[in-house]
Structure formats: C-alpha cells, structure tokens
Amino acid sequence: MYSIGIDVGSAYTKAVMLAAKDDSIDLIAYDVVPTRHDMRKGVLEVFEKTLKKGGISKEEVKGIVGTGYGGRIVQLELGGKFVSEITCHARGARYLYPKCRGVIDVGGQDSKAIKLDDEGRVISFEMNDKCAAGTGRFLELMSMVLDVSIDKLGEIYLKTEKKASITNTCAVFAQTEVVSLISQGTPREEIIAGLIDAFASRVAGLAKIVGLTKDVVISGGVAKNVGFVKALESKLGCELWVPKEPIIVGALGAAIISLKY
Amino acid sequence: MSKELKVQSWRPLEEVQKLFRETFQSHIFRLLQLREKGKPVGWFWAGSPVELAYVFDVANIFPEQYTAFCAARKKSDKLIDAAIEYQYGEFTCDYLKCSVGSILNSEAAPLGGHCGLKPDFVLDSRMCCYGHHAMSEIFANLYTEVKRFIIDAPYWTKEMVGKVDFLTKMPERISEEELEFVIAQLWDLMHFLEEITGEKLDEEHMKRVFEVSEKTSRNLIEIANLMLSKPTPMSQMDYRDFPAIGFFITAADYALHFTEKSLEIIKERVKKKEGVVEEEKLRLMSQGIIPWYSELYKYYEERGVTFPLNLYVESTFYLIEASKPLESLLRRSMLPINCDIDAWIESVVRRAKLADVDGAIMFENIGCRPISFGLRALKEVLWQELGIPSIIVEAPQCDPRIMPLERAILKMNAFIESLL
C-alpha cells in the first residue's frame, strides 16, 4: 500500500511517499518544490514528481494527508485528510528516531517546540509568535542585508569566537541593528555570529517553555545550518538529532498518518 | 493515531439570541427615552457601580460593551485606525482605541457612536483596571465640559479577602476599613448623581432596583452552573452575549426578563440532556476576552468540542444582594484582574473540577494586557494539579488583523489532536 504526505509550508512544499507491507514501512520517494503564490500548482507539481520518482500511478496511492499552512489545499485538490503540522512533525520525528521525546521544527515562517510522551503522543507544544525573529525568514533577511549566501552563515558562526550583541525580539529591529553595526565597522563575521546566537536564543526559549531537555530531533530547513544547530545545542545543554533530510519530517509524518486512513 | 473530528449539526439557542436582540433594543429604547426626558448621560465602565445608573435614571452608556458590539459586527478596524492615527500605540487597550476612534471618526462608528449620546458625566473607575481611569481622562478631554467622578477600590490581596468565589465574587472576608473606604466613596458618588440629576436619592426606588439586580444576578449564576452540565447545553456564540447583562444592566427589568426566559430554555435543555451538538467529543475551558469578531467557538462546537466553562463570561457575573446594596457594589471590583492571581487560580481550579474539562484554551488578549498576565501561571497549575493541558492563543479582542485566523486554528487543531 502506498501513501503520500504533503507538507505545504510558507517557503517549500514537500511530499513523501511510503510503501507499507506487513509491519514494515519503506520510504520510496520524496520531493521538494518552492511554494508558489498559487499553492495549488505547487501541490500538484510535488505530487506528480513524487509519483514519478516512486514509479507508481495516482490510482495506486491509497492514503493522502495534507499538512502545513496550505494543507487544506491538498485535501481540496487530491482528497484525503488534513492533520496539523504539530502532529505530523511529531510522527515523522518519532519514525526516524523512535526514542525521541521532543521535536524542534524551524521553518520558513514559524518555529515550534513539541514535547512527546513515551508513546510518542504530543503532550505539549509552543509556537513562535507572529514575529519572524525565530524563523528561517530571519536568516534569509539577514543574509541579504549582509550580502552573504545563507548556506555560508553556519560555517562562519563556527569559525567566529566574538559575537556582536543583537536583540532577539524582532526581525525588523535586528535588521536596523545590523545596519547600525555595519556602519560602526563591526566585522561581518561577528555580526553573523551574533545573529545566529540571537536566533538560537529565541528558539531555545520555546524549547524551554515546553521542557525539552534531551532526546530532541530538529527538523525544518534551518536544521541544515550547522552553526545554528551548534548554538542551539549549547543553549539547551543537549545534543540535537539532525535527520538527513530535516525539511521533509512533516511530510513524512503526514505520510505515516495517511497509512492509517 | 490521529483522529478527525467530524462536522455535526450545530444547535445554537435561537430563542436566546432573539431574546438578547430584544433586550438590546429595549436598552437603546430606554436610553433614547431618558434623553428625550432631558436626563443626563453617563458613561460607565465594567466593574463600576452600574446599578446607580438605574437608581438615578441616567442614560447609561458602556464604551466597552459598545466596542465589543462594533468588533462583533466587524466594524472596529476603522475606529482602531483612527486612534492609531491620533498617535495611540498599536498595542494599547483595544477598547480604548475603539472608543476613542468612535469619537474621532464618528462616521465609521455604528449606531452613531455610542447611540449618538455624548456624556454629561463620566464615572471614572479604578475599581477594575487602570485603563478605565486613563480612558475617562481622555474622554473628559475630548468632550469638553464633561464632569468626572473618580471612584477607587483596593487591589484585593489574598491576605485581605481570603478565598474568593470568582463566579459570585463573594470573598471569605472583608475588613471594616476596606468596606468603609469604598462605601464612603459610594455615598459621595450618590451625592454627585443627585447634583447631576437634580433629584434626591429615592430609597424605595433604590430598593426596587437592587431587588431586580439580585434576581438577575442569581439567574446568571444559575445559568453559569447549568453550563457545566453534560452535555454542554449552550453554544458560546449565545453565551458570549451574557457579559453585557452581567457587567452592565443587571438592574434593568428587561435584563431580568432576558435571564428568566433564558434560564427556562437552558433548564429545559439540561432536563432533556440536549447539548449544543449531538455528540460531545471534548469539553474545554475558555479563558480570556472573546475575540468578538471571530467564529472560532462555532467552528469547534460544530466538530463536537464544547465549552462548558468560560472564565471570562463568569468574571462578568456577580451575586448582588438587595439587603446589602453598597457591599454588593463594592464587590463589583472583585474581578480577577483586580485581585491576587493566587486567589483567582484557586477559584478556577474548583470550577475546572466541577466542569470536568479535558483541556483549556486561553486567549492572550493583545488588546488587554492585564487579563493576559496570569495565563502561564494558570496553565502550569491546571497541568500540575489536575492534569489538564492548555493552549495559549494570541487573540486581540477587537482587531482581527492582528489575529490571523488560520494560525489560531492551526494551533488549536494541533492541541485538540493531542487530546483525542
């Protein structure tokens, strides 16, 4: 039996195809496309691409679950169910790391910390408020202001000892601070290190509210930023488990849930 | 395993809605009649001694209730913008912005802005929240020649009052000094009203007013207790009209009529074991001022999630005792935001046990900071003492633009999934 989970986020639309046989579940294919203004097109594109990669037809898919901000579009276009991304991230993380007791997901538009019980059920969670300070958008904005590729930010953080002090309360204020620091001649590396530190503080705050102390998975595109992960580990005092493809954890969880429907 | 809540047939109490519309019309009719008779117009706040408006037959306007009315009809954005253009901060009290906005941009204000009735006096109250005092000062400045009477009550600490029942607002104790402090001011206020109206206090009339208020208040308390029944008998979309009665017009005959009829209808539902939906899947507690413009409650009720306990609505109810009118007025200041948080949380725990709720949804009102202060402490206590999980959702009470509905639904859906 094949199932597909589609996670429509603010920046990317992700799909994961699973095959279930007896007690085993195999990941067959996945794909990621940018989320478009017309979310419907992105959903159909990622669905078609995943089907093609998996080498199966639409009719062979028995379960579909949509999640994320545009998860309802999945339901409208392809049928199936809608499940919140909190539940999907929890399920996806638990599949990859059966002992995990917490998930930190840092996406393009929001970040969340999720606490799980022994059985992997969500027992508590927190999301960032509307400000972009604790989200991937923060890093995008800052990489533009500093004229550094977003992929390089993490490495620069790891190599820099001194960090500029930057507020973690608001992305717009932080941008103003960065411009001010540049004009004061603060080295770019120190500003980057300060920004990542501020970003990690913001996300660590969420994790602390729900009480994540160990066995924590980090998901979302920002988990590929090695500097951010290091900074966050240091603030939480624990090692974070980083999946090979952290951006598809929500879609993976959705696909697992769709096997049950 | 994730479960999905199926949409069910939703059963609001249309008769109660109709009765409320009639009550509201009666109130407007009273205001216009009094104005025609040349009676003065007074602006009053929640938590202030509102019965006295009926004792002295003044036209009673309630800026907060009016702004909730505007927000519920999705007419608050232009009022808020007018206040912000006038340099009031975006995150100041929503009621302040809407009220001031209705004066600054009266063309955008429904019902001609407070029924077109400018105040002859403002009852400036510090009995509930400091914001009321600030707003009174602003109104007195915007409308020149408006008289202002300031009334104050202590901030009630646990040492002063012991345990408080926040449904009836009955404290365990209250000292003579504190009673005297407020009651002396109430007498001064009555002298002020005598001066404004040109009429002496009619003690017989006062007695009748408080008798009506007592009956209304007892009905409201009974309704709040009936709401805890299984299944939850009434929709929050109906219940959200009740604060207008409890806070402001308990002393009106039309309010008594509304509560008597509503009580009968609700009792009948409870007797028949009929709920707002056929199959109640989850029972939740709700805290925080209702985001008036939103239909979130309806969305969840249709899916079998009911709300037997609404702490905000209950905070607007009081037990008024006709035999102790002035003491009853003092107790109008015993709102959760004017009392020690510990005393409030104790009372909430007792109610949550009675309601047998599965979880709690708390609205963090961006447009009312004082009411949001205790949420995290309450969340912690509910979890530690009762094992009841909670979710906090940002929700300004009057400005839908600051509350993306999809985001709130996403959080609430995830929370509900975790409860199933």
Of the given ranges (B8-22, B27-41, B98-112), which has the lowest mean pLDDT?
Answer: B98-112
Q: Look up the ipTM and state it.
A: 0.71
Residues A135, A208 within the same domain: yes
Give helix A136-146 / helix A171-183 axis angle, nearest 10°. 20
More confident residue, B400 or B387: B387
Assess contact for B121 and B91: CB atoms under 8 A: no
Tell me if A15 is assigned to some domain.
yes
User: In the prediction, which pLDDT does B291 show?
Assistant: 87
| d(C-alpha B104, C-alpha B88), whole Å | 12
pLDDT of B23-35, one tens digit each? 999 999 999 999 9
Residues A66, A105 within the same domain: no
Burial B153-191 (b: 16+ CB within 10 A, else e): bbebebebbeebbbbbbbbeebeeebeeebeebbeebbe
- Is A117's Cβ below 8 Å from some Cβ in B? no
Residues A163, A131 within the same domain: yes
Give helix B94-104 / helix B77-85 axis angle, nearest 10°. 80
More confident residue, B181 or B115: B181
| d(C-alpha B382, C-alpha B390), whole Å | 8
> What mean pLDDT is predicted for residues B303-315?
96
| d(C-alpha B56, C-alpha A13), whole Å | 65
Residue numbers in B near A81 (CB within 8 A): 4
CATH at A66: 3.30.420.40
Mean pLDDT computed over every residue of chain B: 92
pLDDT bracket for residue B227 (50, 70, 90): very high
Measure Cα distances from A95 to A35, A86, A105, A241 in Å.
25, 14, 15, 13
B97 min Cα distance to partner chain A (Å): 21
Q: What are the DSSP E strand ranges found in A69-183?
A: 81-82, 102-106, 111-116, 122-127
Give helix A171-183 / helix A188-210 axis angle, nearest 10°. 160
Residues A72, A198 within the same domain: no
User: In the prediction, which pLDDT does B1 show?
Assistant: 43
Pairing of strands B359-364, B282-287: parallel
Of the given ranges (A5-9, B111-115, B143-147, B157-161), which has the lowest mean pLDDT?
Answer: B111-115
φ, ψ dihedrals at A103, nearest 5°:
-135, 135
Give how many domains chain A has, as a whole number.
Answer: 2
**A19-78 residues touching B, CB cutoff 8 A:** 69
pLDDT bracket for residue B159 (50, 70, 90): very high
User: In the prediction, which pLDDT does B294 show?
Assistant: 86
Residue numbers in A near B414 (CB within 8 A): 84-87, 122, 125
User: In the prediction, which pLDDT does A261 show?
Assistant: 66
Q: Which two tokens stand for residue B307?
A: 């709300």
pLDDT at A21 exceeding the cut of 90: no
pLDDT at B403 exceeding the cut of 80: no
| d(C-alpha B16, C-alpha B264), whole Å | 10
Tell me if A238 is assigned to some domain.
yes
Residues A68, A133 within the same domain: no
Tell me if A25 is assigned to some domain.
yes
pLDDT of A131-176, one tens digit each? 666 788 888 888 888 888 888 889 999 999 999 988 766 777 777 8
User: In the prediction, which pLDDT does B202 show?
Assistant: 97
- Is B384's Cβ below 8 Å from some Cβ in A? no
pLDDT at B173 exceeding the cut of 90: yes
Mean pLDDT computed over every residue of chain A: 91
Assess contact for B364 and B286: CB atoms under 8 A: no
3-state SS class at B316? coil
Of the given ranges (A199-213, B111-125, B192-206), which has the lowest mean pLDDT?
Answer: B111-125
pLDDT at B2 exceeding the cut of 60: no
Q: How many CB atoms lie within 10 A of CB B145?
A: 6
Residues A75, A107 within the same domain: no
| d(C-alpha A61, C-alpha A74), whole Å | 14
What domain range includes position A134?
100-242
pLDDT at B84 exceeding the cut of 70: yes
Residues A51, A164 within the same domain: no
Of A121, A129, A130, the CB nearest to B418: A121
Residues A109, A229 within the same domain: yes
Contact A69 B1 (CB under 8 A): no
- Burial of B390: CB neighbours in 10 Å, binned 0-12, 13-18, 19+: buried
| d(C-alpha B237, C-alpha B244), whole Å | 13
Q: Which two tokens stand for residue B69?
A: 């009315």
Containing H/E element for B233?
none
Tell me if A227 is assigned to some domain.
yes
Q: What are the DSSP E strand ranges found in B142-196?
A: 147-152, 164-165, 170-171
**B4-33 residues touching A, CB cutoff 8 A:** 4
Of A81, A84, A122, the CB nearest to B410: A84
Closest C-alpha to A212, from A104, A54, A53: A104
Q: Which two tokens stand for residue B22?
A: 């009639």
User: In the prediction, which pLDDT does A243 show?
Assistant: 97
Q: How many CB atoms lie within 10 A of CB B250?
A: 30
Residues A72, A114 within the same domain: no
Residues A183, A238 within the same domain: yes
Q: How many CB atoms lie within 10 A of CB A197?
A: 22
pLDDT bracket for residue B216 (50, 70, 90): very high
A168 min Cα distance to partner chain B (Å): 19
A121 min Cα distance to partner chain B (Å): 7
Interface probe, candidates A7, A110, A127, A260, chain B, greatest B C-beta count within 10 A: A127
Report if pTM > 0.90: no
Residue numbers in A near B418 (CB within 8 A): 86-87, 121-123, 125
pLDDT at B389 exceeding the cut of 80: yes
- Burial of B10: CB neighbours in 10 Å, binned 0-12, 13-18, 19+: middle
Residues A75, A126 within the same domain: no
User: In the prediction, which pLDDT does A166 show?
Assistant: 82
Of B1, B4, B414, the CB nearest to A86: B414
Contact B414 A260 (CB under 8 A): no
pLDDT bracket for residue B290 (50, 70, 90): confident
Residues A109, A225 within the same domain: yes
Cα B322 to chain centroid distance, Å, stands at 22
> What mean pLDDT is predicted for residues B252-262?
98
Of the given ranges (A212-226, B85-99, B152-166), which has the lowest mean pLDDT?
Answer: B85-99
Of B402, B404, B417, the CB nearest to A87: B417
Return the bridge partners of A233, or none: none
Tell me if A95 is assigned to some domain.
no
3-state SS class at B59? strand
Residue numbers in B near A123 (CB within 8 A): 389, 418
Identify the top-confidence range among B41-45, B88-92, B127-131. B41-45
B117: left (phi over 0), alpha (psi -120 to 50) or beta: beta
User: In the prediction, which pLDDT does A2 show?
Assistant: 94
